[in-house]
Amino acid sequence: MAQLIGGLGTSHIPAIGRAIHLGLQQDPYWKPFFDSFPPIHQWLGEKRPDVVVMFYNDHGLNFFLDKMPTFAVGAAPQYNNADEGWGIPTLAPFQGELDLSWHIVNTLVEKEFDIVTCQEMLVDHACTLPLKLFWPEGDCPVTIVPVCINTVQFPLPKPSRVYALGKAVGEAITSWNSDKKVAVIASGGLSHQLDGERAGFINKRFDLQFMESLQTNPEWATQFSIHELVEKTGTQGVELLMWLAMRGALTTAGAGARLVHSNYHIPISNTASAVMALETV
């Protein structure tokens, strides 16, 4: 069976892609963020995952307000980058992991998740930036399975439902008939609001409590309703649902999850940015 080695989480602010493109990693504004990645690069170099399952949210590229699925799973042989113009100008296509995609799709349907299956799928900065942050040199060395979660248009899925989705995806990974090593990635957040009366809102206290809970009490955030999460994290801060799905997936792989490295930094583009790596134990 496949081995689920751990989970990663990172913010996907579009300006990060521009900073990478312009080589601004050592710029004083960007350095505290980029300096948090080398320990994770080292860990990934040791573990060498073959496949990544990416929990992320689409920003209107595949799904717009007229057609917004709650959950969608990519089942394509290849995923092309079609970023909105803020990120890295050109990236090679990302290779899909079709066998795992269909195993996840079938597992989720069997567990009564009503999903959209996408045999063609474009990916934007929410999917591409984490791959470039975690593997900055050359083309991406892993195949991918994108899992898109709606955080754009209400009604949004409850935190408890997203956590259950993550657990089901983790069960699919660990039951996949393969000798490959798999990592799960959460792309998004943490607290931020880009518009309205609370534009610029950041809740550092809640963010840090949430990050701590991923290590010690992974179901902690499932106590909140989606409206409570919006109040605590901002309209776009609900992207932390991706982190919750990632942590849910890890519960199926072993007795727990060991912290490899984490960092929290504010602000980048009025957003609380964070990065974390957890290893299954």
CATH number of the domain that 219 lies in?
Answer: 3.40.830.10
pLDDT at 254 over 70: no
In a domain, 88, yes or no: yes
Give me the sheet containing 78-81, strands edge to edge: 94-95, 78-81, 122-123
In a domain, 23, yes or no: no
Query: By residue range, what is the domain housing residue 156?
Result: 3-13+33-280
pLDDT at 52 over 80: yes
Highest mean pLDDT among 107-116, 193-202, 230-239, 252-261: 107-116
Average pLDDT (251-271) is: 85
For residues 133 and 12, give the distance between their C-alpha atoms in angstroms, rounded to a whole number: 9
pLDDT at 175 over 90: yes
In a domain, 172, yes or no: yes
In a domain, 130, yes or no: yes
Element housing 131 (H / E): helix 125-134
Residues annotated catalytic, as ranges: 125, 192
Structural domain count of the chain:
1
In a domain, 26, yes or no: no
Q: What is the pLDDT of residue 168?
A: 97
Strands 271-280 and 143-149: unpaired
Beta bridge partners of 143: 51
Higher pLDDT, 192 or 117: 117
For residues 246 and 271, give the distance between their C-alpha atoms in angstroms, rounded to a whole number: 21
Q: Give CA separation, 15 vs 83, 191, 198, 269, 271, in Å.
A: 12, 16, 21, 8, 11
In a domain, 223, yes or no: yes
In a domain, 25, yes or no: no
In a domain, 158, yes or no: yes
